[in-house]
Amino acid sequence: MKKTKFTLIELLVVISIIAMLASMLLPALSKAKNRANQIYCAGNLKQFFTATCGYTNDYNSYLPFGYDTVLTNYSGYATANTPAWYYQLAPYLNVPQRENSFDSLGRIYAERPTKPVIFTCPSHKVPFPNTFPTSYAPGIRAANSTAVSIVNGVRKGRIGMVKNPSTKAWLNEWQYYDGTDPAVPATVINEGNIIPGHANNFFGMRHLGSGNILFFDGHAAWTPFKDVMSPSSGQIINFGIFDTYR
């Protein structure tokens, strides 16, 4: 029986076909992975809502986010009087808090997170170890609003004050305004920068040009960046969803 061998041309044709099929499949695989990350991220947000409900039940309906009118000169910074939102929710999500802190995760510094925690979007490349690997932020109007009261120098709103909760954002995806992924100071994470004129207030670019938003009724929505902010100016165009009490 005569044996035949592949010619060089035939081998090159096979290789080119395999390369072409791979080039067709890789974008689909990448898109599928991104979609999986987006679903995982939305699941994180829904758990935050459950934790928020636990917090508001324990703290007279107050939201776990405040604006310290005494110790800060800019809206939304976390302080000893009003810890970061994720720090306040950590016990409800079985995430250790730093003792005698208001913004750091991990029981002690040596035990700070060395891998993503529930506060980390799977598509957010956070450097580790990190004391606050947080990918989300509340809108500043949830604390700094004329509708809320000041208690012991802290401006905080109650969840029952939110009108039309299905259309008002509680937490949204966020990262540092320059579009990189540094170890962002917790105070900056906490403020969220949800005010007109600030670039990347809603960071809607992690999931195929979109990001997740958690609303006050508990649903998480996959939201195109262009529906919230202007891609050219970086300014909010749909400010209504961040105007918490109107």
Render pLDDT for 192-220 as a digit per residue (tens, 0 to 9).
443 333 334 566 567 877 889 999 999 99
What separation in angstroms does the CA of 227 have from each of 213, 224, 234? 12, 5, 12
Q: What is the pLDDT of residues 77-94, one digit of tens each?
A: 688 888 989 999 999 999
- Listed by start position, the domains of the chain span 35-242
| 210 in Cβ contact with 202 (< 8 Å) | no
pTM across the whole model = 0.79
- Residue closest to 195 by CA, chosen among 177, 217, 222, 214: 177
pLDDT, greater one: 97 or 126: 97
Tell me what pLDDT residue 198 has. 39
Going edge to edge, which strands form the sheet with 210-215?
Answer: 136-138, 169-173, 210-215, 220-224
- Residues 186 and 132: beta-carbon distance below 8 Å: yes
- 111-147, pLDDT tens digit by residue? 999 999 999 999 888 888 988 888 888 887 888 788 8
Q: Is the pLDDT of residue 227 over 90?
A: no
Overall average pLDDT of the 146-171 stretch: 90
Rounded Cα distance between 61 and 97, Å, is 22
